[in-house]
Chain A
Amino acid sequence: MGVGPSTKETSLHHFRDPLIKILGEDEGIDLMGVLVFGSPEGNEEKIRCSRTAAVVAECARADGVIVETDGWGNLDVDYVNCVNEIGQRGIPVAGLNWSGTAGTFVVESKYLDDVVDFNKNPEGIESNIVGENNYTEDDVRECVKRLKIAMYKKERGIK
């Protein structure tokens, strides 16, 4: 699970994950699979693991990638690095991440534009309410839409 109670994903969330549900149903997408990596504590490890995830995307010839995490704060280090490494490899990338007002990215990347903030708390904070700041089917649809636009732009050579 993630960092705080409102963002963490329960075992039930994984079992009924809206992201896998919607991508699986989309006949315009060839869903390759789900690549899971851990977010360790040490910075060196964070960079290595998140970079390797991007390497898999390149080596498996992904046309597009969605990067998701239920964590924030120090988990942004690996998250942003992963998105960055995918972007630098020329692969269209979109994402799902909780930012709100309390969890905005602690590191920057120009490839973060298509990351959907799935904050649901009115004040944008980690409310400690289990399930509140979890992504829903609507967040996933927005994310898939952004990825599709990015893939289309790449195909047509549109900047």
Chain B
Amino acid sequence: MAANDIEMRRLVIKAFHMTEVEFGDENKITTSGTMTLNNDGLKELAAKHSEVIEKIDIQIIKPGDHDRYTNTIMDIIPISVKVLGKCGEGITHTITGVYVMPTGVDTEGKQAHEFGSSEGNLKDMLYLNRAGTPGDDDYIISFDITFKKGMGQERYAIIDAYRMVEEWMGTFREQLKKFEGTKATEKHEYYDTIRPGQKKVLVIKEMIAHGAMLDTWIFPDQPSGVEGGKSLIDYGSMPVMLTPNEFRDGAIKAMN
């Protein structure tokens, strides 16, 4: 930090790394890096969304174990939770080492996509180690959604599906929120900084806002979440300004 920099607000992201992910008695994460999943509640969860959802299947994909079929990949989502403060300041906890990958198809076999789909062999259809994709050593939770006939193309059904994913994530978020900060495996501090005398640079991001599967939401209650957020379509697609820290704190949710 240069001498005359002005730090406006601080965001601390604490990461808790998972090294073992397997099925067990309950949905549970620990600070020692173990995650267990239990699929007993999935029927009940799907039933709550039965207007648009037929069933859910959750599989654990181990690092490197990608020679397997996948339905079209809808998103890759980190599990994060606000611990203190508003979006863009305070403390956020996030899980690393495992990411949630919702995939979708309908009962007739039609993939949930709009323009081009990524179903096929996972090892061929997912490019690893990008900012937006898991790394070589990461686990993937395949959250495979079977929509009711034709529902994989309906905007309200896709939104409902993402709400369902977030509902499922809630158990982990509750536990993650209570994790002792000192046990984090990584700690990142970010500041919204004004740097007088330096060149003022603005980033403009154009994001899709067409409709079903081509949608972007902003300002969800939880990082990379859905609830509380709104589609850019609802903002009339007009520009909305975010601080760098708001952007870093999961203020944008891809919704296709």
Is B170 among interface residues, defined by CB-CB distance under 8 A?
no
Interface size on B, residues (CB 8 A): 75
The answer to whether A12 and B78 have CB atoms under 8 Å apart is yes
Instruction: Verify B76–A68 contact, CB threshold 8 A.
Output: no
* Residue from the set B128, B131, B236 with the largest chain A CB neighbour count within 10 Å: B131
CB < 8 Å neighbour of B198 from A3, A17, A29, A38: A29
**A87 CB-CB contact with B under 8 Å:** no
Chain A positions within 8 Å of B5 at CB level = 27
**Shortest beta-carbon distance, A117 to chain B, in Å?**
16
A-B pairs under 8 A by CB, number: 283
- The 8 A CB mask of B128-145 against A (1 = contact, 0 = none) is 101111000000000000
Query: Could you tell me how many residues of chain A have their Cβ less than 8 Å away from some Cβ of chain B?
Result: 71
Q: Given the known A-B contacts A12-B99, A39-B237, are A30 and B201 also in contact in the complex, defined by CB atoms under 8 Å?
A: yes
A116: Cβ under 8 A from any B Cβ: no
Interface membership of B153, Cβ < 8 A: no
Give the residues in chain B near A52, CB-CB below 8 Å. Answer: 238-239
Which residue of chain A has the shortest Cβ distance to B199 in the bound complex?
A63
- What residues of A have a CB within 8 angstroms of the CB of B190 in the complex? 24
- Chain A CB within 10 Å, residue with most, of B190, B193, B199, B231: B199
Residue B117 CB within 8 A of the other chain: yes
Residues of B within 8 A of A100 (CB): none
Contacts of B255 in A (CB 8 A): 1
A64 touches B131 (CB 8 A): no
Contact in complex: B238, A49 (CB < 8 Å): yes
Give chain A interface residues in 57-82, CB to chain B under 8 Å: 57, 60-71, 75, 78-79, 82
Partner of A17, one of B202, B247, B256: B247
Query: Which residues does chain A contribute within 8 Å of B193, judged by CB atoms?
Result: 24, 30-31
Complex Cα–Cα for A87 and B16 (A): 44
> Is B126 positioned at the interface, with any CB of A under 8 Å from its CB?
yes
Task: With A1-B75, A29-B198, A69-B205 as known contacts, state yes or no: A15 contacts B224, CB within 8 Å.
Answer: yes
Asked if B242 is at the interface (CB within 8 A of a chain A CB), the reply is: yes
Q: Mark B227-246, 1 if CB is under 8 A from A, else 0.
A: 00001110111111111101
Query: How many Å from the CB of B31 to the closest CB on chain A?
Result: 21
Q: Are A30 and B238 in contact (CB under 8 A)?
A: no
The reply to whether the CB of A16 lies closer than 8 angstroms to some CB of chain B is yes
CA distance A141 to B229 in the complex (A): 32
Give chain B residues whose Cβ lies under 8 Å from the Cβ of A129: 118, 124-127
Residues of chain A with a CB closer than 8 A to B196's CB: 30
Residues of B within 8 A of A34 (CB): 203-205, 241-244, 246-247
B253 touches A82 (CB 8 A): no
- Contacts beyond the supplied A39-B210, A147-B201: 17 A-B pairs with Cβ under 8 Å: A12-B76, A12-B133, A13-B254, A14-B132, A24-B244, A27-B5, A29-B199, A30-B193, A34-B203, A34-B243, A37-B205, A38-B216, A38-B235, A40-B209, A64-B201, A130-B118, A134-B130
